[in-house]
Structure 1
Amino acid sequence: MTISEHLTEFGGLQVRQWNPGDPLGDPATTIHRISVDWDDEQPWVQKFRAFLELPGVGASRGFVVGWWGTEDSEAPAADVVEALVAAHAALPELRVLFLGDVTYEENEISWIQQADLSPLLAAYPHLTHLGVRGGNNLSLGRLSLPELRHLIVQTGGLDVSVVREVMTAELPVLEHLELFLGTEGYGANSSVDDLTPVLDGTLFPKLTYLGLKNSDHQDQIAQVLADAPVLTRLEELDLSLGVLTDEGGQALLGSQAVRGLKKLHLVHHFMSEDMVARLEALPVQVDVSERQEDDDDWRFVALGE
């Protein structure tokens, strides 16, 4: 899997690329993305400052940060974060934020250098939707966002420190949690035990969608989730994009709680055709597309590099 296209929608709003000279879209339906090209003479921060000078920008409900490095594939996000923090008074209505809407043609996900986002999250305490792509140097700090409903962290390898920050977060109305855990080859170093806080169903009491995906350890995750109390409250479980074999499929098949879901996402997997057929016979909507030929010597997550 490669990320080949930019976001077109996030937080229920349409995403539109903005360049200096462009007008603002309707803030009721549109949020804007700012990005730079490799040979762009105008840095990201300068474009963002021009954006802030537009009449009506204060009504913006969201914002998407695209690629920010004009010459360096490992340019850190620190300047972007600093600029967004400094602009918080100019963007009082901002509720939707995605940091790192970067395609593989712009930069591989494993090269994206993130930053400590805790000042940014403190500056925008009313966020309802937060997305982050890239895990290098990423920190969410002590995550406490009382209105956040949707959290997605996309990486080819998520550090255990970030997993633990999420598992100790105060997000009382969170409905959608999606973590791309990644592969050890690109820095993933968490274990199934690090996911324990979310399993009993009390950490995020409003949760209806749980995505623990893109993992080397997808079988083990499936096994612990099969009997986890959180499963009885979910509408959707997403274990896509990882190394899921018949071992994990059997655990899901034997779980009574799985039968209470509305949808089970298992896209990109290494299960047998027989197991696929048995899962498709469950009384829930099951997506078992993108079956990979199983080879014990070469199983891979969908999104690594």
Structure 2
Amino acid sequence: MAQLPWMSELAPSNIADWDHPSVLQSTGVVHRVGLGYEDDYDTKTAWIDRFADFLALPKVEKTTGLVIGPWWELDDGNGPVDQVIETLVSAAAQLPNLRALFIGDITSEESEISWIEQDDLSPLLSAFPNLQHFAIRGANGLSLGSCQHAQLKTLVIQSGGLPNRVVQEILQGKLPALEHLELWLGSEWYGGDVTLTDLEPLLNGELFPNLKVLALRDCSFADDLAVAISQSKIINRIEVLDLSLGNLGDDGAKALLACPAIKQLKLLDVHYHYIEHAIAQQFKQLGIEVDISEPQDPHRYDRRYIAVSE
């Protein structure tokens, strides 16, 4: 996928694990504060203690981006995130320039995405009024409360199964500055119960007047979603449509190809898909940037699996 504006602060190439240096790294580096297996065996460090050391560094107030990795001892199973939330909220005055926050940068080696335990993260939105980019991995127990923020431009939720109640919190919330909305819908086997009907308020184009990027990824009903988007009002005013990681097949692809508004996009991302080769080749004729990489064999299994679930 193209490098979109918020990624400049949270792109992997800019993220560095913070491992107790005496000073912060150079400007432009986003620090990842989390526990690793070495903490289990060597130091038995608690996350809140590590973060306290981070806050004690000179010039920590200049921090613009922060990534939170594992907050529990990895050999003891997933731990609750409530202390992380409380600690970050308490530290808000020490981080006045924070613009980008990623809660749950946890690899599959550290925890499966469907095992990550989240909580009500709305206190973070209240504590950091200047936040512009907010990314979350894991949806177990996740809530965004009333989901209100005047400055937030990017909201990303990566999950193996996103509960509809979280989607409704977003759609009923107040995010007037939102430009990039990215939701990994996931599988019903891991808590994903969003339906196409649930997304209708978003697709009718009346929400989020500044929205430029709509990413409804990892969707198990990607064909129906693509058909609905091709007939929606939202397609006429966004610049990027991302339906990647889902089980998109020929029916959804044909609907997108037949939609005139698709040609007005700057980017269409459908990578990881089940589209037959001959139909997939037609996307090259749209005259826009299209990512149609990672084709899957639609005949290999008895069903088309999404990319991320457990």
Contact 1:8–1:15 under 8 Å retained in 2: no
Aligned to 1:61: 64
> 241, 250, 256: which one pairs with 2:254?
250
Aligned to 2:32: 33
> Which residue identity is paired with 2:228?
V
> Which residue identity is paired with 1:152?
V
Q: 1:18 to 1:116 in 2, by over 3 A?
A: same
Deviation at 1:263, TM superposition (A): 1.2
> Which residue identity is paired with 1:303?
V
Q: Verify: 1:298 aligned to 2:303, yes or no.
A: yes
Q: Verify: 1:218 aligned to 2:217, yes or no.
A: no
> Which residue identity is paired with 1:62?
G
> Which residue identity is paired with 2:17?
Q
TM-score, with structure 1 as normaliser = 0.93
Runs of 4+ in 1 over 6 A off after TM superposition: none
Q: Distance in 1 between matches of 2:250 and 2:11?
A: 35
Q: Distance in 2 between matches of 1:13 and 1:202?
A: 36
Contact 1:13–1:29 under 8 Å retained in 2: no
Aligned to 2:24: 24
Secondary structure at 1:301's aligned position in 2? coil
Q: 1:91 to 1:11 in 2, by over 3 A?
A: farther
TM-score, with structure 2 as normaliser = 0.92
Aligned to 1:120: 124
Q: 1:140 to 1:281 in 2, by over 3 A?
A: same
> Which residue identity is paired with 2:257?
L
> Which residue identity is paired with 1:57?
V
Deviation at 1:170, TM superposition (A): 1.2
Q: Distance in 1 between matches of 2:284 and 2:224?
A: 21
**Corresponding pairs, count:** 298
Unmatched 5+ stretches in structure 2 = 1-6
Aligned to 2:267: 263
Which structure shows the bigger proportion of residues in helix conformation? 2
Deviation at 1:189, TM superposition (A): 0.4
Q: Distance in 1 between matches of 2:276 and 2:82?
A: 45
Q: 1:118-163 deviations in whole A, cap 9, x for unaligned?
A: 1121111221000000111111111111111111110010011111
Aligned to 1:4: none
Q: Distance in 1 between matches of 2:84 and 2:134?
A: 16
Contact 2:205–2:234 under 8 Å retained in 1: yes
Contact 2:9–2:28 under 8 Å retained in 1: no
TM alignment of 1:164-179, pairs within 5 A: 164-179=168-183
Deviation at 1:15, TM superposition (A): 2.0
Q: Distance in 2 between matches of 1:185 and 1:9?
A: 33
Contact 1:118–1:143 under 8 Å retained in 2: yes
Larger deviation, residues 36-45 vs 158-167: 36-45
Identity of aligned residues (%): 41
> Which residue identity is paired with 1:232?
N
Contact 2:78–2:115 under 8 Å retained in 1: yes
Deviation at 1:103, TM superposition (A): 0.7
* Alignment RMSD: 1.8
Deviation at 1:233, TM superposition (A): 1.0
Larger deviation, residues 69-78 vs 145-154: 69-78
TM alignment of 1:225-244, pairs within 5 A: 225-244=229-248
